[in-house]
Chains A and B, each alone.
Chain A
């Protein structure tokens, strides 16, 4: 067994993952609190890697914390900050500590973050990082040299099912699978008809797909995402629905919407699971799951 997350994917059950952000600084209290609250409820939790190019405690440190606390981490790794030597080294280190789930991302531009004049690395891209993990598994590194001790990974990547234009994104998606991605988390989806269209196409590939769910917390937040986040389209009826919530009830409405969507994805068997992004409101993940009618992941 390389990971309980791989087992969950293979078992055919409806898989639930969530996200935990390492702190800005050394105070791990809140991160630890979120891990403690969620570790027995979800199948695995993603540790974000300087999300939006904002420097934080490292994802690998967060992943170790999850491991120490008895949870199942998915190590997010971007290609923004490390060249191929550092990425391979970190993959080896992760595997040595029993962190075998890795989500391979290209990473945002440093210009979007809080160290805007830093050098963006991008020595590899997301598909090449997946391939790097698979190369290490074969006992070799990217330089073609033999390794003394080879790791194993459950490697994944992401896709944006509503990217515009879509076809270039799908070509990249297929390359990630060719490189060896066995699971795919999607960018946030809100239009389940469009998600079904994507899944009609994606089902031809041997890959598990977890639909991305971002908790809506207000109508302005939904409009902000529509304007600023590539490939995220919150349909107007959903914006109206959350705008129409009673005063102070927007978050409850957001939980209800997320729960309803997850429930439909589950009951209609649209995807293999969901990846819940509560962005700063991780303590609400259990409520979202309850509202979706999901019982905590019993393994």
Chain B
């Protein structure tokens, strides 16, 4: 399953964003951020304490099941009063959740998390970015491993000169995508596809912001 991977912003940044906003309602989410322990019930409770200690007033808090879906009428019925008392909503979900809440409630929102990437859980507690939805998928020629995402530079013709013992030049804890691709293609007996000189990439498969409408049929 894919997950939205997030990281708590620094207290300094959160309090800068909350400057002049004293009555706060906190929203967490029961899905990705609960799994990554960045916006589940315990983190929301801890945030409440942090806010109280610094003299803010917390009008309420809720952990919604899926923050990137619209808030249900039950939640609204229960929480709307406390939400409306708040100067701002401090939202401990990924940015999809922040934007969904903001567009539904039309209230001042402050994200408490940074959304890092859409990741796949590749081991217990470990998440990896393996696709950045580039719109022009090339992995049919790279053994199913994405050079656009897994290579730090998005190179599609093979490794740069920075590969060191199969690791990436930016971080010896990150595999070099092109070592992974090479090993996979070799295993498959398909190294020929790595030998093909690829022309410049099409960076605009779907120009940002992506939009898709299903055609009626």
Interface residues of A (CB under 8 A from B): 84, 105-106, 108-109, 111-112, 120, 122-128, 131, 142, 158, 160, 163-165, 167-169, 171-172, 174-175, 178-179, 187, 230-231
> A175 and B200 in contact (CB under 8 A), knowing A164-B166, A165-B182?
no
Please name all residues of chain A whose beta carbon is closer than 8 Å to the beta carbon of B201 when the two chains form the complex: 123
B179: nearest chain-A partner, CB-CB: A165
Given A112-B170, A172-B157, A230 and B164 contact (CB-CB distance below 8 Å): yes
| Docked pose: A126 CA to B159 CA in angstroms | 10
Check: B106 CB closer than 8 A to any chain A CB.
Answer: no
Q: Do A128 and B163 have beta carbons less than 8 Å apart?
A: no
Given A111-B170, A127-B197, answer yes or no on A168-B161 (Cβ-Cβ < 8 Å).
no
User: A184 to nearest B CB, angstroms?
Assistant: 12
A sample of 25 inter-chain contacts (CB < 8 A) reads: A106-B153, A106-B155, A108-B169, A109-B153, A112-B170, A122-B155, A125-B157, A126-B157, A126-B160, A127-B197, A128-B198, A128-B199, A128-B200, A131-B197, A160-B161, A163-B159, A164-B164, A165-B163, A165-B166, A168-B158, A168-B163, A168-B179, A168-B194, A175-B195, A179-B197
For the side of the interface on B, what is the size category? 20 to 34
Is the C-beta of B25 less than 8 angstroms from some C-beta in chain A?
no
Closest Cβ neighbor of A130 among chain B residues: B197
State how many angstroms separate the Cβ of B91 from the closest Cβ of chain A. Answer: 25
A174 proximity list for chain B (CB < 8 A): 195
Residue numbers of B with Cβ under 8 A of A are 152-166, 169-170, 178-179, 181-182, 191, 194-195, 197-201, 203
Most buried by B among A123, A163, A168, A178: A168
**In the bound complex, CA of A179 to CA of B198 (Å):** 10
A27 to B179, CA, bound (A): 42
For residue B158, which residue of chain A has the nearest CB?
A172
Residues of A within 8 A of B158 (CB): 127, 168-169, 171-172, 175
Q: What residues of chain B lie closer than 8 Å to A175, measured between beta carbons?
A: 157-158, 195, 197
